[in-house]
Each structure stands twice: as structure tokens, then as C-alpha cells.
Amino acid sequence: MDVSELLSLTAAQATAAIERGDLDAAELFAAYRSRAADDDLNAFTWVAEDLPEDLHSDAPLRGVPLAVKDLFCTEGVPSQAGSKILEGYLPPYTATSVRRLQDAGATLLGKTNQDEFAMGSSNENSAYGPVLNPWDRTRVPGGSSGGSAAAVAAGLAPWALGTDTGGSIRQPAALCGIVGLKPTYGTVSRYGMIAFASSLDQAGPFTRDVTDAALLYRHLTGTDPMDSTAVGHPEEIVLPTAERLDGVRLGVPAELSTGEGVEPGVLAAFEASLETARSLGATIETCHLPTAALGLSAYYVLAPAEASSNLSRYDGVRYGLRTPADDLVSMYTDTRHDGFGDEVKRRILIGTYALSSGYYDAYYGRAQKVRTLIAREFASVFQNVDFVVTPTSPTVAFKLGSLTADPLAMYLNDFFTVPMSLAGIPAISIPCGLSEGLPVGLQLAGAAFSENRILDAAHALERALAFDGSPPRTREAA
Amino acid sequence: MIDPAEVLHVARLSRLKLTDEETERMAGELSSILDHIAKISELDLEGVPPTSHVVEVEQGLRPDVPGPCLPRDVALAQAPAVQDGGFLVPSPQAG
């Protein structure tokens, strides 16, 4: 098998080829390692130097390389969460999710760049520089898991692990033209995932196709003695086979589909994909999620509130950066001033404000109630439809620097993805077409623990949409 | 709306130093974010219970069995300053 052929395999195809003896796991790793080491998108913050001694080519994932977002602790390997405050940090243990995948045979290829502490929608908030979108290097890859998305889209990794708090898997997957799954909250352990907003954070796969997403998620989900919120999955995750959508009811939320700021080209690709779904036998109906449009407002209370607490651990005492000072409190305040970027500071301040005396009920208390309403509305909608469908992001990948001066405009990127996060339900983004030559993502969300159904429906749609996931440059190079 | 004095107060609560320029800029940026957040004050939320967690977990406890913990030298290995087997920090008193 020549190198370009080998790099064109999906992870599932590669595992099958290794199992058959047609492909050597070490050769596959070497090919990707060389691609990742030559990364000119700034997608990687660390790349494995050598083939690990413990290449598990007899385990289910057959030693296939895996890129991992820098937010995951990996023992002895830099884990900096895109932050200067964790520069050079070498964790003493590996996150359960990464460990599970390694136990299943995945090989750590590298750590991927991200927005600092997963706060951002463009990857421009990384202390290690922005990531470039492989479809157009003047544009962002989305965020916060921008490095994982760009690496998979550019063929620098067969698949990658990311995290999604308000859209950080789905939005970059959409902007890079690949598949991203945010699982049901609690189905993947958060132990060793550097915390942003603990009631929302969830790990999930970035892959070239839906089958790979199912394969990675199958090995990712599980309970964990180290995370009391990790409930595992009640079903075995199976590889999707559906080719039709007969009898499948898709709901288009009236309140979300008319959201302001949705680009016409995105709407056109979305509507065309609904036509495709109809041709496969699905019915499309309008549904109502009246509070979902306020999801963003509630999210920007809840997530910063949790972050302000979670990030109090960065104080220059036990790990990471320390700015020397004469007294203890000055050491804390100076270290945090020097170590955190602007977006992280904004969120710490918003969160602390929302939790402070006199404001708690008006902000945090109300936001928690809005969350209840949104979760109830989804539960009610799923009585009548199987999936809620929306565009994943209101826009295609935007120009680097175009939104950095306006934090609120940046937040609006998450308009379609935040409601599902608040409800804790699973959602997938699959590429559904191009607008202005750039990928558009289609989001399918289902009831809690409906991953098998979501993956099946996404598989049928993926087949019919036949999206060519290789960015033009990659195509020319091949 | 949040004014620079309130920003400084919140920054103090957050153990975060801000320069004068940062305080001014944050006051403007945080005000526009808080305006957006204020949309939730328009909703009638009477009788709606709060959600702090979306997955119902009953007694998510592991068996109470002692296990190994991080060795002291490993726990200290990433610290900026260490002395006598502990984390070394400046005095709580200035000067």
C-alpha cells in the first residue's frame, strides 16, 4: 500500500486492513507522524517523536494513531489546554477517556491546539497561536477544538478527540467539513479533562465519516470510578448501517431556523440537505423550542460561573506558571494576570459577577431555570420527532481576526449548538455541502442516549449527500 | 451595565490583577455581554425548578476501598517552588 493510499483510509478501514494483514500499524503510524510533524496549520502543539513500544495492533483499534486535544491530561506529555498558565505542564496521569482509547489500541499521535481552556469559537484564543483552516488558510477552523478539527480535515490524523461544552466539537467539525459528535452528557468520563464548565463539558470524536465516529465513541463511553457523573451508555454502540430514513421524523425548530445572522449560503445548503433527507423517506416538520433562542444568554451565565470556580486552581502554587511577588496574594493575582488570556479573564469576571452577592438569583439562579425549560422543551419535542435538525453554525469559516474585537459576536457562533449542551443531549455535525467553497455543517440532535439512532440517521444522510471532505489543497497535493 | 469600579471589585474577588487599561476595556466588553445575558430576565420563571445537572445520578459512589495515591515527589514535580517536601509560597504578609 503506498503512502497516499494509506493516508486516505478512514480509521475503520485502517483497522480492518491491519487486521487482515494488508497494512502494518507501525507503517501507518510513521506515515501520520511524518504528516503531523510537517503540520503547517499549527494544529498540533506536540507530536510523538517515536513509535511507542506498546503498539496494540492486536486490540480492537489496531494501533491506529489518534490526535488528542490538549485539554486532556496525558501522562508525561505536555498538556497545556491552550494556556500560558499551563506552559510545559506534564501531568502525572492520563485522562480516563484517552486511557480507554489507548487500552482499545489507539496510539497517541499528538496533542492538538485549542482555544485557551476551551473558551472560544475560532481557536484564536490559544496562547500557542491560531490554527489555520485547511480549506482556506486565511480563515479560522472554528473552536474550541480547532486543532483536532483541522488535523483531521487536512489528513494529518485519521481521527481526533475533542471536547464540547457549548459547541466546541460540532462547530469546528462544521467549519472544517468533517464529522463531530457531542455525546450525551455523562456517557464519557471527564476525569483528566482539564475542567471548563463541569456540568456541560463532554468529550467526543472528530472523524472523517460517521462510521469512524461510532467506532471511536464505542470505545470512549463507560463508567469511571474517578468520575461520579460518568454513567456510561445503556446500549452497546454499533457501527451504523442505515441507508434510508423511512419513517424518521425530523423537526426543524421555528425559533432556531430563523435565527438572525444565518448566511444565505448556509441556509441553502441546510435546506438542500432536508430535501435529501426527504428523498430518503424522512418527514420534515416544524417544531417549537421557544426558550432555546435564549440558550446562549443562559449559557453565558452558567459556563462562566462554573469556569470561575474551576479556574481558581491556577494560582502558581502546585503547577504551571508563577509570577514571583513579595506576598502571597500578589503572587496569585500577578500569576493569573500574566497567565490567562483576555477571553479567560472575561469569563472569570462574568462568572464571578454572576455568582456574587446580590446578583446570584438574577443571573445564576435564573439561568439554571432557563436550562430546565430548554431541557423540558427538547423532551417534549422528542415525543413527536426523532431528531431536531439545524445548521451547525450560522456561518461558514470566517476570516482570522474578523471577530476578535467583538466578544459577543464571537459568542453568537454557538447559537445553534448551545441549547443541546444545556439539555445534555447528544448531537452530531456532518458536512452537508459548500457555501462560497467552504463547508457547511448539518446538526442532528436526539434524545439523551440516542447515539445509535443519531449515528444511523447521519450515516444514511452522509451516503446520500456524498460530500467530498478533502480540502482543495489536499486534493491538489494528492 | 458594569462600571470600572465593579470590574475591579469582581477582579479582586477572582484574585485577578487588571491594569487600568484592562479594567476600562473589560467594563465595556462585559457590559455588552451582560446586556445580552439580561434577556433571561424577560422570562416568566415562576415555579420552574433550577437544573444544576442534567443526568440523574443516584449515589454515584465507588466502593470505599483504599487505593494508591500520587507519591509525594510526583505531586511536587510540577510545582514552581518546593521546600522540605511541600509547596513553597511567599509569605502571606507583604515585605
Note the pLDDT of residue A29: 96
Angstroms from B1 CA to nearest CA on chain A: 12
Query: What's the average model confidence in pLDDT over A30-53?
Result: 94
How far apart are alpha carbons A469 and B2 in whole angstroms? 45
Q: Could you tell me the residue range of the domain that residue B34 belongs to? A: 1-41
Instruction: Copy the grid coordinates of residue A342.
Output: 483576555
Query: What's the average model confidence in pLDDT over A376-395?
Result: 97
Tell whether the model's pLDDT for residue A473 goes beyond 70. Answer: no
DSSP A323: -
User: pLDDT grade, residue A259 (50/70/90)?
Assistant: low
Q: Is some CB atom of chain A closer than 8 A to the CB atom of B58?
A: no
Alpha helices by DSSP H, listed for A64-145, are 96-103
A291, B48: Cβ pair inside 8 Å? no
Chain B nearest-CA residue for A407: B29
Q: Which of A180-194, A224-238, A252-266, B21-35 has the lowest mean pLDDT?
A: A252-266
A297, B49: Cβ pair inside 8 Å? no
A291, B43: Cβ pair inside 8 Å? yes
In three-state secondary structure terms, A200 is coil
B52, A199: Cβ pair inside 8 Å? yes
Note the pLDDT of residue A478: 46
A139: left (phi over 0), alpha (psi -120 to 50) or beta: beta
Note the pLDDT of residue A257: 66
User: pLDDT grade, residue A314 (50/70/90)?
Assistant: very high
| Cβ-based neighbour number of residue A435 at 10 Å | 18
Note the pLDDT of residue B93: 81
Q: Are strands A159-164 and A65-69 parallel, antiparallel or unpaired?
A: parallel
Query: What's the average model confidence in pLDDT over A55-73?
Result: 95
Q: Where in chain A is the domain with CATH 3.90.1300.10?
A: 3-291+373-477
Q: What is the average pLDDT value for chain A, to the nearest integer?
A: 95
In sequence order, what are the residues at sequence separation of 6 or more whose Cβ sits closer than 8 angstroms to the Cβ of residue A38? none
Q: Is some CB atom of chain A closer than 8 A to the CB atom of B40?
A: yes
Using the structure block, give the residue that is written with the C-alpha cell 486534493.
A475
User: Can you tell me the ipTM of this complex?
Assistant: 0.95
Decide if B75 is inside a domain. no
How far apart are alpha carbons A389 and A374 in whole angstroms? 16
Alpha helices by DSSP H, listed for A154-194, are 170-176
Interface test with B, best of A356, A369, A406 (most B CBs within 10 A): A369
User: pLDDT grade, residue A188 (50/70/90)?
Assistant: very high
Chain B residues near residue A89 by CB distance under 8 angstroms: 78
Tell whether the model's pLDDT for residue A352 goes beyond 70. Answer: yes
Catalytic residue among A97, A126, A168, A435: A168
Q: Using CA of residue A326, residue A331, residue A337, residue A340, what is the dihedral sign?
A: positive
Q: Does residue A168 carry a catalytic annotation?
A: yes
Alpha helices by DSSP H, listed for A25-70, are 25-37
Note the pLDDT of residue A57: 81
Tell whether the model's pLDDT for residue A258 goes beyond 90. Answer: no
Please indicate whether residue A341 or residue A357 has the higher confidence score (pLDDT).
A341
DSSP A357: T
Tell whether the model's pLDDT for residue B58 goes beyond 80. Answer: no
Query: What's the average model confidence in pLDDT over A315-321?
Result: 97
B50, A231: Cβ pair inside 8 Å? no
Query: What's the average model confidence in pLDDT over A89-109?
Result: 97
What radius of gyration do chain A's Cα atoms show? 21
Angstroms from A374 CA to nearest CA on chain B: 10
Using the structure block, give the residue that is written with the C-alpha cell 489543497.
A473
Tell whether the model's pLDDT for residue A422 goes beyond 80. Answer: yes
Decide if B56 is inside a domain. no
Task: Name the residue among B14, B40, B77 with its Cβ closest to that of A294.
Answer: B40
Please indicate whether residue A256 or residue A233 has the higher confidence score (pLDDT).
A233
Q: Is some CB atom of chain B closer than 8 A to the CB atom of A366?
A: yes
Listed by number, the residues of chain A in 380-399 with a beta carbon closer than 8 Å to a beta carbon of chain B are none
A229, B60: Cβ pair inside 8 Å? yes
Note the pLDDT of residue A215: 98
Chain B residues near residue A336 by CB distance under 8 angstroms: 14-17
Where does A3-291+373-477 sit in CATH, by number? 3.90.1300.10
**Cis geometry, peptide bond prior to residue A144 (ω within 30 degrees of 0):** yes
In sequence order, what are the residues at sequence separation of 6 or more whose Cβ sits closer than 8 angstroms to the Cβ of residue A187? A202, A221, A230, A231, A232, A233, A426, A449, A451
Decide if B51 is inside a domain. no
Instruction: Give the CA count within 13 Å in the CB-facing half-sphere of A362.
Output: 12
Percent of chain A with pLDDT over 90: 92
Note the pLDDT of residue B95: 56
Using the structure block, give the residue that is written with the C-alpha cell 444565505.
A264
Decide if B17 is inside a domain. yes
Q: Is some CB atom of chain B closer than 8 A to the CB atom of A332?
A: yes
- Interface A-B, measured as beta-carbon pairs within 8 A, has a size of 182
In three-state secondary structure terms, A425 is coil
Give the helix/strand (H/E) hosting A329: helix A328-339
Task: Name the residue among B40, B57, B75 with its Cβ closest to that of A298.
Answer: B40
Query: What's the average model confidence in pLDDT over A62-66?
Result: 97
Query: What's the average model confidence in pLDDT over A24-34?
Result: 96
Tell whether the model's pLDDT for residue A477 goes beyond 60. Answer: no
How far apart are alpha carbons A164 and A166 in whole angstroms? 6
In sequence order, what are the residues at sequence separation of 6 or more whose Cβ sits closer than 8 angstroms to the Cβ of residue A383? none
| Cβ-based neighbour number of residue A342 at 10 Å | 15
Note the pLDDT of residue A416: 95
Give the helix/strand (H/E) hosting A159: strand A159-164
Q: Does residue A126 carry a catalytic annotation?
A: no
Going from the C-alpha of A406 to that of each of A95, A116, A139, the distances in angstroms are 34, 17, 17
Listed by number, the residues of chain B in 3-32 with a beta carbon closer than 8 Å to a beta carbon of chain A are 6-7, 10-11, 13-18, 22, 26, 29-30, 32
In three-state secondary structure terms, A178 is coil
B40, A319: Cβ pair inside 8 Å? no
Note the pLDDT of residue B12: 97
B52, A368: Cβ pair inside 8 Å? yes
Q: Is some CB atom of chain A closer than 8 A to the CB atom of B61?
A: yes
Interface test with B, best of A297, A300, A309 (most B CBs within 10 A): A297
B51, A369: Cβ pair inside 8 Å? yes
CA nearest A139: which of A444, A472, A430?
A472
**E strand segments, A347-408:** 387-391
Note the pLDDT of residue A93: 96
**CATH code assigned at B10:** 1.10.20.60
Long-range Cβ contact pairs of A32-35 (< 8 A, separation 24 or more): A32/A7, A32/A65, A32/A109, A32/A156, A32/A157, A32/A158, A33/A65, A33/A109, A35/A7, A35/A155, A35/A156, A35/A157
Query: What's the average model confidence in pLDDT over A29-36?
Result: 96
Q: Does residue A369 carry a catalytic annotation?
A: no
Q: Which of A448-457, B17-26, B52-61 has the lowest mean pLDDT?
A: B52-61
Catalytic residue among A126, A144, A393, A450: A144
Q: Is some CB atom of chain B closer than 8 A to the CB atom of A323?
A: no
Long-range Cβ contact pairs of B7-13 (< 8 A, separation 24 or more): B7/A349, B10/A349, B10/A352, B10/A353, B10/A356, B11/A349, B13/A352, B13/A356
Chain B residues near residue A340 by CB distance under 8 angstroms: 16
Note the pLDDT of residue A337: 98
**Residues A42 and A131: beta-carbon distance below 8 Å:** yes
Partnered with residue A46 across adjacent β-strands are A111
